[in-house]
Amino acid sequence: MNKHFEDTRYYLKRAGETAKRGISEELEPLQERVAELTGGEEEPEPSRLEEVRADLKELQGRAEGEAEKAIGKARERLGRGEGEDNS
């Protein structure tokens, strides 16, 4: 790569990083004010998270059971089809 392009890429990267830091500094008071007005960030209740996990585990079990039944039925149908003469 041409030396000029390497230099340009370097300075563009630095400019982007500097702009990001500047924007963060400018928005920091606004973020603090919003957090103050909304009561800050609250963690989700652990009991709710556990409830969702339990629901997902139950759904996974049901889906696995239904899949096993469907596979069993398909195997049964294929097994019956193999012994029959289709001529």
Q: Token pair for residue 8?
A: 């340009």
* Unique residue bearing structure tokens 């606004």: 30
Span 2-11, pLDDT tens digits: 888 889 989 9
User: What are the backbone angles phi and psi of residue 55, rounded to the nearest 5°?
Assistant: -60, -45
pLDDT greater than 80 at residue 30: yes
- The structure's pTM equals 0.39
With pLDDT > 70 as the criterion, what percentage of the chain qualifies? 83
